[in-house]
Amino acid sequence: MTLLEFASGPGLQWALWIFVLGVVWRLVGALFLLSRKDLSKPRQYNSVAAGFGAIISRSAPAHAFEKRILFQHVTGYAWHFALFISVLFFAPHILFFESVLGFGWPHLPNTIIMVTAIIATAFLIALLVRRATHPVQRFISNADDYISIIVVLIPLVTGILAFAHFGARYETLLAIHLLSVETMLIWFPFGKLMHAVMTMPARYQAGTAFGRRGVKA
Amino acid sequence: MNTESMSLQDFRGLLQQLGAGAPGQDISDEERLRRAKNMFMQKLNGHRAVDLDSCLQCGMCAEACHFYEATQNEKYAPVYKFRPLRRFYRREMSPLRWFYRPFTRDITIADLKEWQHLVYDACTGCGRCDMICPMGIKISASIRVMRHGLAAAGYVPPEMRVVRNEQRDQNTLFGVGTEQLKALVDKLGTQGINIPLDREQADVMLLTTAVEVLLFPDAFAASARILNQAGADWTIRSDAFEAANVGIITGDDQTMKIAVRRIVDKAKACGIKTVLMPESGHAYQMMRWDAATEMGGPLPFETLSMPEFISAEIKAGRLNLNAQSNGASVTYHDPCRLSRKGGVMQQPRDVLAALGLDVRETPANQRENYCCGGGCGEYVLESADDLRQKAFEIKRREFEETGADAVVTGCANCRINLMIGAENSGWQTPVTSLVETVAANLAD
């Protein structure tokens, strides 16, 4: 079995299983820890509207905070946006998703993907540098914070190299790219990449908790 | 109205003496740790688990914290203030604890000692960080669990321990109990303010606080005059008047429940329909939002803050006010537990506007308002004097931007803290209370 055969065969399968089971295990485990019911009389509110309202409202900082967190807010959005374009609209990726899901969707030209991938990489490196240098972020960070950035950074870099056929044989570059994605999938449920799954439940519960008190979350 | 009261200077002297009277605690380190962990285990629930599992460690919360802003000390990042709780969760309760345990350091007695400063001196539980978190994490709720753990382990700071013990064991605060309240009621009676003390049945039960009795009797008198003019069927009970709850402040459930039950039981016995909270943010949060859950069932009365009550009475046409027309301006300081934690933000503004005052907003207001700097009992801690004064400077800057003639607030704790901050820095703008402002404009 070649490296590429392993990476695109059993390696990928195992990584996906660990990813799915790990995410479900952690999500269900946290959500099913019991909470005491709030018995106070709520103000007039609609809990579902308050919950979904918070999912939306927390996408942008409240006015009083805007200036203080502008850099993180903008780079955070730019980086995620560029990543999603690169992952979801690159023709070979869509072929892969089609093989797993059974359906595909239109792709973007390769040059655009190249640009978004480079933007995503640049922003992620900027965020990594900030984490290592900003007094608060450096102080509160632990291994997970760095591992989670690096396991996402490597697939980006190897993807760009594979696309550019730079540094090694294409098959080798592709195999390394796949293995790095698999590493990311395996790490996902164990570290803070889980935020991708936790964002909505966390914001929803904030929305209902504030909503019952008549406060916009 | 100008009822003779303790001076701010004397009250500050009283605070400075508090810690000296703290009883010693003979608890072994192992026992302290065991109690702290046991409390963390009790208080960690699904909501906190989702919160702890969602944190990105982005550090934005630091940008919302007045203590971080005032000092630029990264230790004051709110996310750091519950770090031991997070470690405990990861090691003992997380669905992935078997994975985290080898990589996560256990909490130690040294941690508990270090976090006493971080969660009592350097956090007022104001929850401004809760409003900035992009994940919607209730950071202040996790820090509150930290206070519970530290309280269980015997790490309540000495000043708070003294008042906590006093409320728990003697049913007084700062020496104020039944006799002191009765004396004040008598005195106000001689000034023509009728206070229906100790009625067996009434619709409304007014509460007050030791701080009002000692320092702000005019606020108490104002509440009484407002209730009288509104024609309310009301009483105040000399055996259950204290709204302040040192249990919720320190993180001690035993004291919290004793103090709440006293009021709830009395209100039930007197057939009370509305419990009216004095100007005390944490007391409102306790009775309005926490009491039912803590008592194990819905309460048979509603709980209103003064701004809610007054605003409703004005709308119903039951209060006769002299609206000012001299263009006087005020800015309203939102007490955190009334505003972002209580939902009472519009009513005080409506009331001030009804008085004809020019109400000016600080740059950050309502749910995003800066804390007074000394909430959640923090103002009694000598070890936090410097931090508090630095945080006050943020408030001062905010107030000055409004150019308002006076600061009005709806919490005596905020008021004391702002007055002390102003006195320390020679800031002249008066800080007053909402009820006193209303009472001063009642048409007789």
pLDDT in tens, B101-146: 999 999 999 999 999 999 999 999 999 999 999 999 999 999 999 9
Map residue A134 onto helix, strand or coil.
Answer: coil
Q: How far apart (Å, rounded) are the C-alpha atoms in residues A132 and A126? A: 10
Among the listed residues B189, B199, B208, the one whose alpha carbon sits nearest the alpha carbon of residue B234: B199
Of the CA atoms within 13 Å of residue B55, those in its CB half-sphere come to: 30
Q: What is the DSSP letter of B135?
A: T
Scan for tokens 């985290």, then name that residue. Answer: B100
Domain with CATH 1.10.1060 in chain B: 29-155
pLDDT at A36: 83
Counting every residue, how long is chain B? 444
- The model's confidence at residue B270, banded by pLDDT at 50, 70 and 90, is very high
Q: Do A40 and B103 touch (CB under 8 A)?
A: no
Map residue B25 onto helix, strand or coil.
Answer: coil
* pLDDT tens digits, one per residue of B47-56: 999 999 999 9
Q: How many CB atoms lie within 10 A of CB B232?
A: 19
How large is the average pLDDT for residues B75-95? 97
Q: How far apart (Å, rounded) are the C-alpha atoms in residues A38 and B291? A: 10
Minimum Cα–Cα distance from B79: chain A residue = A140
Residues of B in contact with A71 (CB under 8 A): none
Map residue B333 onto helix, strand or coil.
Answer: strand
Residues of A in contact with B55 (CB under 8 A): 192, 195
- The model's confidence at residue A11, banded by pLDDT at 50, 70 and 90, is very high
Å between A87 CA and nearest CA of chain B: 22
pLDDT at A31: 81
Q: How far apart (Å, rounded) are the C-alpha atoms in residues B58 and B62? A: 9
Q: Do B54 and A32 touch (CB under 8 A)?
A: no
The first and second tokens of residue A103, run together, are 């359906």
Q: pLDDT over 90 for what percent of chain A?
A: 91
The first and second tokens of residue B304, run together, are 């209103």
Sorted by sequence, the CB contacts under 8 Å of residue B372 that are 6+ apart come out as: B124, B333, B335, B392, B395, B409, B411, B413, B414, B417, B418, B421
Q: Does A1 touch chain B (CB under 8 A)?
A: no
pLDDT at B1: 52
How large is the average pLDDT for residues B366-370? 97
Map residue B350 onto helix, strand or coil.
Answer: helix
pLDDT at B2: 61
- The overall average pLDDT reported for chain A is 95
Which of the four CATH numbers 1.20.1530, 1.10.1060, 3.40.50, 1.10.8 does domain B29-155 have? 1.10.1060
Q: What is the DSSP letter of B367?
A: G
Q: Does A37 touch chain B (CB under 8 A)?
A: yes
What's this model's pTM, rounded to 2 decimal places?
Answer: 0.96
Å between B437 CA and nearest CA of chain A: 26
Å between B242 CA and nearest CA of chain A: 21
Pairing, β B431-433 against β B406-409: parallel
Minimum Cα–Cα distance from A137: chain B residue = B59
* pLDDT tens digits, one per residue of A117-145: 999 999 999 999 999 999 999 999 999 99
CATH architecture of B317-439: 3-Layer(aba) Sandwich (3.40)
Q: How far apart (Å, rounded) are the C-alpha atoms in residues B9 and B15? A: 10
Minimum Cα–Cα distance from A211: chain B residue = B343
Q: Does A30 touch chain B (CB under 8 A)?
A: yes
Å between B89 CA and nearest CA of chain A: 11
Q: How far apart (Å, rounded) are the C-alpha atoms in residues B169 and B409? A: 31
Q: Rounded to the nearest 10 degrees, how much is the dihedral formed by the CA atoms of A81, A83, A88, A92?
A: 150
Residues of B in contact with A145 (CB under 8 A): 57
How large is the average pLDDT for residues B298-309? 97
Map residue B45 onto helix, strand or coil.
Answer: coil
Exposed e or buried b per residue across B299-332, where buried means at least 16 C-beta atoms within 10 angstroms of its C-beta: bebebbbbbbbbbebbeeeebebeeeeeeeebbb
Q: Do B293 and A213 touch (CB under 8 A)?
A: no
Domain with CATH 3.40.50.1860 in chain B: 171-313, 317-439
Q: Is the pLDDT of residue B338 over 60?
A: yes
How large is the average pLDDT for residues B327-339? 96
Q: Which of B46, B63, B68 comes nearest A69 by C-beta?
A: B63
The first and second tokens of residue B420, run together, are 């002390």
pLDDT at B326: 82
* pLDDT tens digits, one per residue of B148-194: 999 999 999 999 999 999 999 999 999 999 999 999 999 999 999 99
How large is the average pLDDT for residues B385-406? 97
Of A160-174, B125-139, B319-333, which one has max mean pLDDT? B125-139
Sorted by sequence, the CB contacts under 8 Å of residue B37 that are 6+ apart come out as: B88, B92, B107, B149
Å between B282 CA and nearest CA of chain A: 14
* pLDDT tens digits, one per residue of B21-30: 898 889 999 9
Å between A142 CA and nearest CA of chain B: 9
Cβ proximity of B127 and B341 under 8 Å: yes
Q: Is the four-CA dihedral B385, B390, B393, B394 of positive or negative sign?
A: negative
- The overall average pLDDT reported for chain B is 96
DSSP symbols for B196-252: -BT-SS-SEEE-B-HHHHHT-HHHHHHHHHHHHHTT--EEB-TTS-B---HHHHHT-
Instruction: Kindly list the distances between the CA atom of residue A119 and the CA atoms of A12, A160, A185, in Å, as whole numbers in the listed order.
Output: 27, 11, 22
Residues 46-75 of A with CB under 8 A from B: 54, 58-59, 61-65, 68-69, 72
pLDDT at B324: 77
Q: Is the pLDDT of residue B434 over 60?
A: yes
Minimum Cα–Cα distance from B364: chain A residue = A64
From start to end of B14-133, where are the E strands? none
pLDDT at A167: 87
Q: Which of B79, B93, B135 comes nearest A202 by C-beta?
A: B135
Q: What are phi and psi of B204, to 5 degrees?
A: -115, 135
Residues of B in contact with A141 (CB under 8 A): 57
Q: Which of A34, A72, A217 comes nearest B136 by C-beta?
A: A217
How large is the average pLDDT for residues B324-347? 94
Choose the mutation target among A35, A58, A75, A140 for the interface with B, i.e. most B CBs under 10 Å: A140
Q: What is the DSSP letter of B23?
A: P
Return the H-helix or E-strand segment holding B139: helix B139-152
Pairing, β B358-360 against β B329-333: parallel
Instruction: Check if CATH label 3.30.930.10 holds for domain B171-313.
Output: no
Minimum Cα–Cα distance from B76: chain A residue = A136
Q: Do B50 and A205 touch (CB under 8 A)?
A: yes
Q: Is the pLDDT of residue A26 over 80?
A: yes
DSSP symbols for A42-111: PPS--HHHHHHHHHHHTTS--GGGGGGGHHHHHHHHHHHHHHHHHHHS-HHHHHHHHHHHS-------HH
Residues of B in contact with A22 (CB under 8 A): 96
Q: Do B343 and A202 touch (CB under 8 A)?
A: no
Q: Is the pLDDT of residue A28 over 70?
A: yes
Sorted by sequence, the CB contacts under 8 Å of residue A205 that are 6+ apart come out as: A51, B47, B50, B136
Instruction: Kindly list the distances between the CA atom of residue B253 and the CA atoms of A1, B18, B101, B162, B261, in Å, as whole numbers in the listed order.
Output: 63, 22, 30, 16, 12
Instruction: Kindly list the distances between the CA atom of residue B234 and the CA atoms of B75, B134, B196, B228, B254, in Å, as whole numbers in the listed order.
Output: 48, 45, 7, 8, 30
Residues 119-158 of A with CB under 8 A from B: 134-145
Q: How far apart (Å, rounded) are the C-alpha atoms in residues B368 and A158? A: 44
